[in-house]
């Protein structure tokens, strides 16, 4: 099994599909993610989310979600130009819901709720004003029938 001497970092679209199996060796993950094994071992130290199972002689076995995480790390570092710290912060932010995107969504939802509340308050205020003017118009009619107490209640 020969590996290319140079890894093409811009080939995320051409990465092979991930087979439906439970565990992957470091060599398989290296091929699936176009990242050399020594880089994977280094990333394990830098990204706390990346924790492959170790068995028999300290051999690493990665699960499907870890392969996806490695592809995401690869994308952040090689394609988007993040530093290790930047990629770590981005991944931590996504996990904690504090990424710029999630903050923007929360902000938009809050603004929409505030706008909806203001609109509802305005609508209720207008409705109350309209009902009070109808009541004022009906007051003489009610007074003429002897039902004043219902007009005041």
28, 66 in Cβ contact below 8 A?
Answer: no
109-132 pLDDT, tens digit per residue, is 666 666 667 777 777 888 888 889
For the chain, strand residue ranges (E) read: 24-25, 53-55, 59-62
- In the chain, what's the furthest Cα-to-Cα distance? 102
Residue 16 is classified by DSSP as P
Which DSSP category does 15 fall into?
P
Residue 96: what pLDDT? 59
If one compares 50 and 9, the residue with the highest pLDDT of the two is 50
List, in sequence order, the alpha helices (H) in 23-63: 26-33, 37-46
Q: Over the stretch 64-103, which tens digit does the pLDDT of each residue have?
A: 999 999 999 999 999 999 999 999 999 887 655 555 666 6
- Asked if the model's pLDDT at residue 2 lies above 50, the reply is no
Taking the C-alpha atoms of residue 62 and residue 47, their distance in angstroms, rounded to an integer, is 14
- CATH for 12-96 is 1.10.1660.10
Percent above pLDDT 70 for the chain: 71
Neighbouring residues of 49: CB distance < 8 A, sequence distance ≥ 6 = 69, 91, 95
């Amino acid at each position: 099994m020969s590996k290319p001497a140079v890894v093409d970092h811009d080939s995320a679209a051409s990465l092979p599909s991930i087979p439906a199996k439970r565990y992957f060796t470091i060599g398989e993950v290296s091929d699936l993610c176009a990242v050399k094994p020594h880089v994977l071992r280094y990333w394990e130290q830098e990204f706390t989310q990346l924790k492959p199972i170790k068995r028999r002689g300290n051999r690493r076995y990665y699960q499907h979600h870890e392969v996806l995480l490695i592809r995401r790390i690869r994308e952040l570092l090689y394609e988007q130009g993040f530093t290790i710290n930047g990629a770590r912060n981005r991944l931590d932010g996504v996990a904690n819901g504090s990424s710029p995107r999630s903050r923007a969504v929360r902000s938009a939802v809050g603004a929409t709720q505030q706008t909806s509340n203001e609109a509802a308050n305005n609508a209720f205020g207008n409705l109350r004003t309209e009902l009070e003017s109808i009541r004022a118009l009906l007051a003489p009619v009610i007074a003429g029938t002897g039902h004043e107490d219902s007009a005041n209640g």
